A and B are shown apart, each in its own frame.
Chain A
């Protein structure tokens, strides 16, 4: 059973606001990921980290930033939210071993008005 948490679960916010989506895992996993997913659509990798002080951009161009100061914590920040950022944001983590199985958090559904 995966122990990965995301807060808030739902967020409605106005255009131009700065927001931070939180993701924490208690499994000691080295790798963490952020995905964006619109309803009924595929997952898009926006950021990932292989460990503390490691962050990389994913395949989807994103106006967000991430940080990895602690192993268990991988927050995602939008400096200025726009309606095009409305989506579901999913955090995942995996242990750096052969199979690299990813476990997902419950997600944050963001609506930007």
Chain B
């Protein structure tokens, strides 16, 4: 079992809808959780991080963390074509190592 798992997609969402991206992790002692966006041929850029259970909102993005279920998600409201990218989930585990998932490809269709 991979330490950080994401559905590879592609996830296709109509413009204006909510895109929901999911990530599960295996280390129950994980401390911090990150979402990165990566456009094709570019480097990952941080969208947001979360370390407490519950929701964290930043503009159109909401990160949700449920440590009991070992689950972190990213919601993108009012999806735009410019949101089409690969989204990487990263987890700081109990050994303080940062583990990246393999990413979910998101496609926003006009």
B100 lies within 8 A of A101 (CB): no
Known: A42-B102, A43-B88. A98 touches B46 (CB 8 A): no
For the complex, is A90 an interface residue (Cβ under 8 Å from B)? yes
For the complex, is A74 an interface residue (Cβ under 8 Å from B)? no
Task: Give the residues in chain A near B102, CB-CB below 8 Å.
Answer: 41-42
Measured between C-beta atoms, what is the minimum distance from A56 to chain B in Å? 10
Looking across the interface, which residue of chain A has its beta carbon closest to that of B51? A99
A42 lies within 8 A of B43 (CB): no
A25 to B42, CA, bound (A): 18
- Residues facing A in B95-109 (CB within 8 A) are 96, 98, 100-103
Q: How many residues of A contact B (CB 8 A)?
A: 18
State which size class the interface on B falls in.
20 to 34
B43 lies within 8 A of A99 (CB): no
A104 lies within 8 A of B45 (CB): yes
For the complex, is B54 an interface residue (Cβ under 8 Å from A)? no
Tell which of B41, B42, B98 touches A102, judged by Cβ atoms closer than 8 Å.
B98
Task: Give the residues in chain A near B41, CB-CB below 8 Å.
Answer: 39
A101 lies within 8 A of B34 (CB): yes
Tell which of B49, B96, B101 touches A101, judged by Cβ atoms closer than 8 Å.
B49
Known: A42-B102, A43-B100. A101 touches B46 (CB 8 A): yes
Interface residues of A (CB under 8 A from B): 33, 39-43, 90, 94, 98-107
Q: What are 8 contact pairs spanning A and B, CB under 8 A?
A: A40-B40, A42-B101, A43-B88, A43-B100, A90-B43, A100-B98, A104-B43, A104-B44
Q: Which 3 pairs of residues, A with B, have the shortest CB-CB distance?
A: A42-B102, A104-B43, A43-B100
